[in-house]
């Protein structure tokens, strides 16, 4: 049985004061009781990892994990501005997002690089959250499955069996930050297609991999999405900035 996993992605938002308030509010809320067998995390900007790691450690119950939003594809060395997976691990990260569409679109990241980053994350003992998804044009021209299939195929080629230790986030680009959430059925159909594709490679890998949905998840649509058989949780952007909304989605 795959656990339901809810991960917040603050993107480039936050401040020392706001982060402290958010983590204290969420920890207090989680201490009131959460559904059993679920996992929660928040992926914060790199400069705030140390602060948030300490704040999370100060929570009396270990409900919440820490994550990062990107990582270098290199182990160490002359890569100015990059952050190594080993550094994220040292700071207490459990999850690292790789291949978010904003990295693909604005930083020209390609599937091969995304897979290399995922390998670095795995080698450092963390879980990569590998993002895939199609644009509005690709969906409108009926190519959404072909596009996502191509992205997944590149991950399978590099990661092979190690995909069993990864999470996949299906994030249709047209739904990110737009308020246009994919209907639960549209999301389920793509999640099912991804699982079938993984099963072509290895049935065990396919049954183990958690597939999260991301794109305009809010407290009022999370219940229906998370009820779908192939949707194993969510990667939450905008709504994760508000601690009450994050808690409501985490309980959905
Ligand atoms: O990583 C999160 C996704 O990009 C979704 O963002 P959103 O919930 O603001 O649409």
Q: Does this complex have an ipTM over 0.85? A: yes
Distance CA 54, CA 49 (A): 9
Distance CA 170, CA 158 (A): 19
Give the DSSP H or E segment for 233: strand 233-236
Per-residue confidence (pLDDT) for residue 144, from 0 to 100: 98
Q: For the domain that residue 146 is a member of, what is the CATH number?
A: 3.20.20.70
pTM of this prediction exceeds 0.90: yes
Task: Tell me, yes or no, whether 26 lies in a domain.
Answer: no
Q: Is the CB of 125 under 6 A from ligand 1?
A: no
Is 81 annotated for ligand binding?
Answer: no
Residue range 212-238: average pLDDT?
98
Please tell me the distance between residue 45's alpha carbon and the centre of ligand 1 in angstroms: 15
Residue 114 has pLDDT above 70, yes or no: yes
Task: Tell me, yes or no, whether 44 lies in a domain.
Answer: no
Task: Tell me, yes or no, whether 197 lies in a domain.
Answer: yes
Task: Tell me, yes or no, whether 205 lies in a domain.
Answer: yes
Task: Tell me, yes or no, whether 196 lies in a domain.
Answer: yes
Q: What is the largest CA-CA distance in the chain?
A: 50
Domain extent, residue 213, equals 127-217+227-238
Q: What is the pLDDT of residues 36-88, one digit of tens each?
A: 889 999 999 999 999 999 999 988 666 899 999 999 999 999 999 999 999 99
Q: With beta carbons less than 8 A apart as the criterion, state whether 210 and 5 touch.
A: yes
Task: Tell me, yes or no, whether 211 lies in a domain.
Answer: yes
Per-residue confidence (pLDDT) for residue 73, from 0 to 100: 98
Per-residue confidence (pLDDT) for residue 60, from 0 to 100: 65
Average model confidence (pLDDT) for the chain?
A: 96
Q: What is the pLDDT of residues 160-184, one digit of tens each?
A: 999 999 999 999 999 999 999 999 9
Q: Is the CB of 184 under 6 A from ligand 1?
A: no
Report residue 216's pLDDT band, with 50, 70 and 90 as the boundaries.
very high
Task: Tell me, yes or no, whether 164 lies in a domain.
Answer: yes
| Domains: count for the chain | 1
* Nearest-atom index, ligand 1, CA of 169: 1
147: left (phi > 0), else alpha (psi -120 to 50), else beta?
alpha
Token duo for residue 55 = 């704040």
Task: Tell me, yes or no, whether 48 lies in a domain.
Answer: no
Q: With beta carbons less than 8 A apart as the criterion, state whether 175 and 182 touch.
A: yes
């Amino acid at each position: 049985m795959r656990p339901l996993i809810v991960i917040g992605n603050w993107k480039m938002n936050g401040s020392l004061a706001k982060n402290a308030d958010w983590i204290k509010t969420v920890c207090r809320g989680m201490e009131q009781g959460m559904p059993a067998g679920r996992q929660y995390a928040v992926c914060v900007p790199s400069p705030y990892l140390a602060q948030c790691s300490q704040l999370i450690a100060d929570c009396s119950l270990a409900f919440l994990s820490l994550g990062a939003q990107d990582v270098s594809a290199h182990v160490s060395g002359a890569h100015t501005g990059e952050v190594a997976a080993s550094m994220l691990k040292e700071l207490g990260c459990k999850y690292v997002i790789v291949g978010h569409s904003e990295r693909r679109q604005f930083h020209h990241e390609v599937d091969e690089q995304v897979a290399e980053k995922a390998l670095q994350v795995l080698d450092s003992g963390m879980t990569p959250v590998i993002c895939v998804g199609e644009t509005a044009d690709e969906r409108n021209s009926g190519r959404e499955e072909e596009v996502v299939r191509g992205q997944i195929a590149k991950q399978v080629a590099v990661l092979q069996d190690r995909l069993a230790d990864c999470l996949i986030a299906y994030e249709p680009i047209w739904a990110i930050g737009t308020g246009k959430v994919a209907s639960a059925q549209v999301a389920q159909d793509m999640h099912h297609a991804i699982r079938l594709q993984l099963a072509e490679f290895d049935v065990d890998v396919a049954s183990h991999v958690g597939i999260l949905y991301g794109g305009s998840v809010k407290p009022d649509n999370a219940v229906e999405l998370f009820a779908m058989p192939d949707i194993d949780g969510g990667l939450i952007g905008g709504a994760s900035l508000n601690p009450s909304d994050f808690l409501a989605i985490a309980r959905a």
